[in-house]
Structure 1
Amino acid sequence: MTSLAKIALQTVITLVLSGFAAAALFAAADYATRGVVV
């Protein structure tokens, strides 16, 4: 595997993980907000 492919793979993995983290944070904030309002 070339270094370029390795960098590309790491970038994709990082983007996917950060995407999951952002979705989890958004869901947690949404849940907390609904809990406070309701």
Structure 2
Amino acid sequence: MAEMKSPNVHAKKNRNDTPRKRKTHIIKVRVTAEEKLRIASR
């Protein structure tokens, strides 16, 4: 019988999962319209 592979095998292979690169945190911040423009311009 043929061996079945998980559909996620290729996705995991191409992903850079080193602990330094993996993004695991979300930060939400409320800013004024002026602050938003300054952040966007950077």
* Structure-2-length-normalised TM-score: 0.28
Higher relative contact order (CA 8 A, sep 6+): 2
Q: Tell me which structure has the larger Cα radius of gyration.
A: 2
The structure with the greater share of residues assigned to helix is 1
* Structure-1-length-normalised TM-score: 0.31
